[in-house]
Amino acid sequence: MIFLLLNDLLHYLQANIPERTFELNSLPDRNITYQCELDCIHITLLNVAEDSSSRIPYTRPQPGAVTYRPENPPVNLNLNLIISCSFKQYGESLKALSEVITTINSKQVFITEKFKYTVTLQSLTIDQNIQLWSAFSAGILPNVIYKIRSVPTGN
């Protein structure tokens, strides 16, 4: 389900920014000379967390009875992802990042056959950003972090 959602976002970006190459993958390591075919925009999952506001138990009437049976609601997830631009020319990375931000901002709410999700921009402090890139063991790339909210796990 997480893969399907991120793949949906990938296809949306590819359709709306066709001149760029996108990959759903981990970030390139600084010790590896990896690049997508040429220059690339990486979509990487950072974190998965439960949306606790949707975990309020509810009751459902049993068929043919007057009693109610407690049920747990489906678990909804919040996903944090980073979209980073790895281009030979730093200026091209910045242009690509601007295109991604503009494209996602123009929609924000995505509806598919299987789920509905919202995408919102997240901010990190400079210290948090440095810690994040240190954890990746990679050089800092132009990037943006998004939170995808309320992804139902039942699909």
Spell out the residues 6+ positions from residue 9 whose beta carbon is closer than 8 angstroms to its own. Answer: 43, 110, 119, 148
The pTM of the full predicted model, rounded to 2 decimals, is 0.80
- According to DSSP, the residues that pair with 109 across neighbouring strands are 118
Domains of the chain: 23-54+73-152 (3.30.2000)
Is residue 36 pLDDT above 60, yes or no? Answer: no
Alpha-carbon distance of 58 to 77, in angstroms, equals 18
Alpha-carbon distance of 63 to 77, in angstroms, equals 30
The identity of residue 109, as a single letter, is V
Contact 147, 120 (CB under 8 A): yes
Is residue 123 pLDDT above 60, yes or no? Answer: yes
Residue 131 host element (H or E): helix 126-136
pLDDT in tens, 58-87: 566 666 666 666 666 677 889 999 999 988
pLDDT of residue 93: 92
Is residue 146 pLDDT above 90, yes or no? Answer: yes
pLDDT of residue 35: 47
